[in-house]
Structure 1
Amino acid sequence: MPSQKTFFATPQDAEAAFYEAIERADLDALMTVWCDEEEVVYVAPGGPRISGYANVRESWRAVFEGGARLHFRIHTLSALVNPFTAIHSVVEKITVEGQDDILTPIVATNIFLKGALGWRLVLHHASPSPPESTPVTQILH
């Protein structure tokens, strides 16, 4: 487990570092954002639930070894913050380096806990966004 010398003063700082590390495919930087406890959880879009720091690290290592460089535009839908917990609901609009098309938007939940070393990620759960639905015509009875 890394020495967690990076101090994230806010959950927003930790979240920004998370996405920046993914864009750089920097596994060490990414893992400094995660809490180094065994209770961390990662769910990739369409993927299984992965728990435990070492397992989460291995999963991201495999993603980065795949070679595709990802770029994110993040839109925050909601944020619930109290003194020691932050829950962010976001939409991730992802492009792959060298391609113009945005992949299917991803709806993600990021949960952060505040400890002695600042804010750390404990859960990232991402799912493909359902297609935008068309309004249903109201039928009068």
Structure 2
Amino acid sequence: MATGSSPARDRAKLLFANETFYRAFAERDVTLMSAVWAEEEPVTCLHPGWPPVEGRDSVLQSWHAILTGPASPDIECLHARAGIHRDTGIVICYERIGQDYLIATNIFIRSGDGWLLVHHQSGAAPEPGEGNAPPRRSIN
């Protein structure tokens, strides 16, 4: 844990980093998308239906294609849950794209006083219902 931080504050910063990732996606902001990904660590991405994308340049090229393409989807992040394991943060959430739902895992590393993304993976999921929706609290 960073000096002077509490677990609740660390979780809030991790969830903020996750929200920033989804804001970049929703607003089709290529510059912001680039800023959320780590530069000094290996990064990977598993887009639904794509082969694995490895390396920062390739990952950012994949996001550029998605964000600037004619079929760039509208997205909403739902039910984000965060867990922190030393300097690694994991956020699991649902993504709503139109009427479809995906479930995503976003892995971050601590960077200074914040968090940077090193891995994103999403895949098909059933619609979260009242009985099976994850709680809106953080996990640890």
TM-score by length of 2: 0.74
1:109 to 2:112 alignment: no
83-92 or 48-57: bigger deviation: 83-92
56-65 or 71-80: bigger deviation: 71-80
Tell me which amino acid in the other structure corresponds to 2:53: I
3-state DSSP of counterpart to 1:48: coil
- Give the corresponding residue for 2:115: 119
CA-CA distance at 1:10 after TM superposition: 1.1
20-29 or 36-45: bigger deviation: 36-45
Task: Indicate if the aligned counterparts of 1:84 and 1:113 stay in contact, CA closer than 8 A.
Answer: yes
- Give the corresponding residue for 2:52: 49
Q: Which consecutive unaligned segments of at least 5 residues does structure 2 have?
A: 1-11, 129-140
Task: Indicate if the aligned counterparts of 1:35 and 1:122 stay in contact, CA closer than 8 A.
Answer: yes
Distance 1:64 1:73 in 2: 14
Describe how 1:1-141 pairs up with structure 2 within 5 A.
Answer: 10-37=13-40, 39-76=42-79, 78-95=81-98, 102=99, 104-116=100-112, 118-129=114-125
CA-CA distance at 1:45 after TM superposition: 0.8
Task: Indicate if the aligned counterparts of 2:105 and 2:120 stay in contact, CA closer than 8 A.
Answer: yes
Q: Which consecutive unaligned segments of at least 5 residues does structure 1 have?
A: 1-8, 96-101, 133-141
CA-CA distance at 1:117 after TM superposition: 5.6
Tell me which amino acid in the other structure corresponds to 2:17: A
Question: Runs ≥4 in structure 1, deviation > 6 angstroms?
Answer: none
Distance 2:105 2:66 in 1: 19
CA-CA distance at 1:127 after TM superposition: 0.8
Residues matched between the structures, number: 117
Tell me which amino acid in the other structure corresponds to 2:57: A
Task: Indicate if the aligned counterparts of 1:46 and 1:128 stay in contact, CA closer than 8 A.
Answer: no
Larger helix percent: 2
Q: Which has the larger radius of gyration?
A: 1
